[in-house]
């Protein structure tokens, strides 16, 4: 009877499945916890790495956009905004401006962010991480970003060489139809000059629709043209326009009518007594008018280059005295520069050795300027208050290089677009393009 009962209970136990899952779970609990731990930590690593990558991307863009000597400082400051501070909580940020670019070269900007996170449940399955810090197992995470900051060659119709740069005060109607550049700084109050690009080697304060600071300075390549100026033939005699009791200018210094020679040398002031037309000899690049220790007084008249002709007006001589080395008068300069030859592209040229009597206080007004070509006034402080148009028989191309300039009222320069056929190599430098991520 007892034996029968025991056998019966054994048969029932054989067919009873209750509690089986509990037994199985008992065996699987450790790997399940390990799998959940790995899943949790991998997700945490991914989120942390994603945050690092976002910070590295933004920091690399900031470094490339900065492009200056403190690019690394700016990159680390941007990374800190994302919660990654160099040297804090085992975070390391490495910034370089000599990273390899995908398209070649080693001038890209890179930011590498690395750090450590402690291991949690992943240790259950025996994962030991990458290192041990202060007795805690840690996993190393890192992200890298590379940005390029291409420089774009840019031409300028207005370039200042001196420390005062470009200034504009209360000139909201000023309109530079072309780009401006200061080899120092620039400050514009009351208007941005309407220049598509306003650039400065130092700080640009408000000049240009698109404004750039810390731009590479423009090299003055035009000073070398002074070697084309003929030796002074005047033997120290430079007749000047008479005052109330002065002597009149000699006939050679009074112009009216048509002039058709290749070269003219004027000692002292040149005054127009009527409209003047320049007819360059056939087959020649242009007429050269060199004025030694004197001004070009338009005197209410117009000097014009005829169709197919060209003119370069050169001011040379010595410093000191009361000599004026500039165009004056209430007339009009309507001249086109030659497109070939030694004075190619140059309409007006002040000898760079001249430092006195070179300032122009009413450019574009007295006289009016209708000029195709370069106006080179390297030591002149200029006030531009009129509109510069192209020559009547010239292309739409104008550039002015001065020591410094103040733009007042309606000061304006026509848009440029034909300087290549006009023969003028414009002042140019590179300005930073838009920074882009390349890795």
**Tens-place pLDDT, residues 160-169:** 999 999 998 8
Same-domain check for residues 356 and 425? yes
More confident residue, 433 or 349: 349
Tell me what pLDDT residue 35 has. Answer: 57
Q: Give the tokens for residue 220.
A: 């003055």
Distances (CA, A) of 116 to 119, 137, 232, 281: 9, 9, 77, 81
Strand partners, 109: 147
Q: How many CB atoms are closer than 10 A to CB 365?
A: 18
Which of 118-132, 242-256, 287-301, 354-368 comes out lowest in average pLDDT?
118-132
Burial class for 284, CB neighbours closer than 10 Å (0-12, 13-18, 19+): middle
How far is it, in rounded angstroms, from Cα 412 to Cα 422? 20
Q: Given 149, 184, 210, which residue is the final one in a domain?
A: 149
**pLDDT score recorded for residue 416:** 83
Whether the CB-CB separation of 375 and 348 falls below 8 Å is answered with yes
Final residue before a domain boundary, out of 104, 129, 149: 149
Same domain assignment for residues 131 and 164: no
Tokens describing residue 301: 């008249």
Sign of the dihedral defined by the CA atoms of residues 229, 235, 236, 239, in that order: negative
| Phi (first) and psi of residue 28, to 5 degrees | -95, -10
In this prediction, residue 100 has a pLDDT band, given cuts at 50, 70 and 90, of very high
35 falls within a domain = yes
What pLDDT, in 10s, does the model give residues 410-424?
888 988 889 999 999
Residues 289 and 181 placed together within one structural domain of the fold = yes
Q: Is residue 26 part of a domain?
A: no
Distance CA 176, CA 131 (A): 62
User: For 124-149, what is each residue's pLDDT tens digit?
Assistant: 667 777 787 777 888 899 999 999 87
Q: Name the phi and psi angles at 41, rounded to 5.
A: -70, -40
Specify if 8 maps to a domain: no
pLDDT for position 150: 76
| Most confident by average pLDDT, 13-22, 80-89, 97-106 | 80-89
On whether both 278 and 243 belong to a single domain, the answer is yes
Q: Checking phi first, is residue 354 left (phi over 0); if not, alpha (psi -120 to 50) or beta?
A: beta
109, burial (CB in 10 Å: exposed 0-12, middle 13-18, buried 19+): buried
Residue 405 neighbours by CB under 8 Å, 6+ apart:
158, 160, 166, 167, 381, 382, 383, 384
Question: Nearest CA to 53 among 84, 98, 13?
Answer: 84
Q: Is the pLDDT of residue 13 over 80?
A: no
Task: Please check whether residue 14 lies inside any domain of the structure.
Answer: no
Residue 69 included in any domain:
yes
- 107 and 251 housed in the same domain: no
Three-state SS annotation for the chain: CHHHHHHHHHHHHHHCCCCHHHHHHHHHHHHHHHHHHHHHHHHHHHHHHHHHHHHHHHHHHHHHHHCCCCHHHHHHHHHHHCCCCCCCCCCEEEEEEEECCCCCCCCEEEEEEEEEEECCHHHHHCCCCCEEECCEEEEEEEEEEEEECCEEEEECCEEECCCCCEEEECCCCCEECCCEEECCCEEEECCCCCCCEEEECCCEECCCCEEECCCCCCCCCCHHHHHHCCCCCCCCCCCCCCCCCCCCCCHHHEEEEEECCCEEEEECCEEEEEEEEECCCCCCCCEEEEEECCCEECCCCEEEECCCCCEEEEEECCCCCCCCCCEECCCEEEEECCCCCCCCCEEEEECCCCCCCCCEEEECCCCEEEEEEEEEEEEEEEEECCEEECCCCCCCCEEEEEEEEEECCCCEECCCCCCCCCCCCCCEEEEECCCEECC
Among 90, 125, 149, the domain boundary falls at: 149
Q: Can you give the residue range of the structural domain that contains 98?
A: 31-149
Q: Are residues 187 and 240 in the same domain?
A: yes
Check if the beta carbon of residue 185 is closer than 8 Å to that of residue 205. yes
**Residue of higher predicted confidence among 167 and 123:** 167
Please tell me whether residues 36 and 61 are part of one structural domain: yes
Q: How confident is the model at residue 39 (pLDDT cuts 50, 70, 90)?
A: low
The tally of domains found in the chain comes to: 2
Q: Are residues 201 and 332 in the same domain?
A: yes
128 and 162 both lie in a single domain: no
Cis omega (within 30 of 0) for bond into 367: yes
Q: Return the higher-pLDDT residue of 12 and 110.
A: 110
pLDDT of the residue at 362: 87
- Residue 239 sits in the same domain as residue 321: yes
């Amino acid at each position: 009877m007892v034996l029968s009962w025991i056998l019966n209970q054994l048969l029932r136990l054989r067919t009873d499945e209750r509690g089986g899952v509990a037994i199985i779970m008992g065996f699987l609990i450790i790997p399940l916890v390990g799998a959940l731990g790995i899943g949790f930590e991998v997700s945490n690593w991914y989120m942390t790495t994603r945050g690092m990558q976002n910070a590295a991307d933004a920091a690399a863009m900031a470094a490339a956009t900065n492009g200056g000597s403190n690019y690394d400082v700016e990159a680390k400051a941007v990374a800190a905004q994302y919660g990654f501070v160099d040297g804090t909580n085992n975070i390391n940020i490495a910034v370089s401006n000599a990273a390899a670019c995908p398209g070649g070269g080693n001038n890209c900007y890179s930011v590498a962010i690395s750090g450590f996170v402690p291991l949690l449940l992943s240790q259950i399955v025996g994962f030991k991480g990458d290192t041990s810090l202060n007795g805690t197992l840690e996993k190393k995470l890192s992200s890298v970003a590379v940005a390029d900051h291409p420089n774009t060659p840019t031409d300028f119709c207005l370039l200042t060489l001196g420390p005062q740069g470009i200034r504009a005060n209360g000139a909201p109607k000023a309109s530079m139809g072309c780009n401006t550049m200061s080899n120092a700084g620039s400050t514009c109050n009351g208007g941005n000059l309407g220049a598509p690009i306003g650039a400065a080697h130092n700080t640009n304060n408000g000049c240009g629709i698109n404004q750039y600071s810390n731009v590479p300075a423009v090299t003055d390549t035009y000073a070398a043209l002074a070697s084309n100026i003929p030796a002074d033939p005047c033997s120290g005699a430079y007749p000047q326009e008479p005052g109330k009791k002065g002597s009149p200018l000699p006939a050679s210094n009074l112009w009216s009518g048509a002039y058709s020679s290749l070269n003219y040398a004027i000692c002292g002031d040149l005054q127009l007594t009527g409209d003047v037309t320049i007819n360059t000899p056939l087959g020649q690049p242009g007429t050269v008018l060199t004025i030694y220790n004197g001004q070009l007084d338009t005197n209410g008249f117009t000097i014009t280059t005829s169709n197919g002709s060209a003119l370069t007006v050169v001011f040379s001589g010595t410093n000191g005295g009361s000599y004026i080395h500039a165009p004056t008068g209430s007339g009009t300069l309507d001249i086109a520069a030659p497109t070939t030859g030694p004075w190619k592209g140059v309409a007006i040229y002040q000898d760079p050795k001249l430092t006195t009597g070179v300032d122009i206080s009413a450019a574009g007004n007295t006289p009016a300027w209708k000029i195709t070509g370069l106006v080179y006034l390297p030591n002149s402080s200029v006030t531009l208050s009129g509109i510069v148009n192209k020559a009547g028989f010239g292309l739409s191309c104008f550039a002015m290089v001065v020591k410094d300039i103040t733009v007042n009222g309606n000061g304006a320069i026509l848009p440029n677009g034909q300087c290549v056929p006009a023969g003028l190599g414009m002042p140019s430098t590179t300005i930073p393009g838009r920074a882009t991520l390349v890795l």
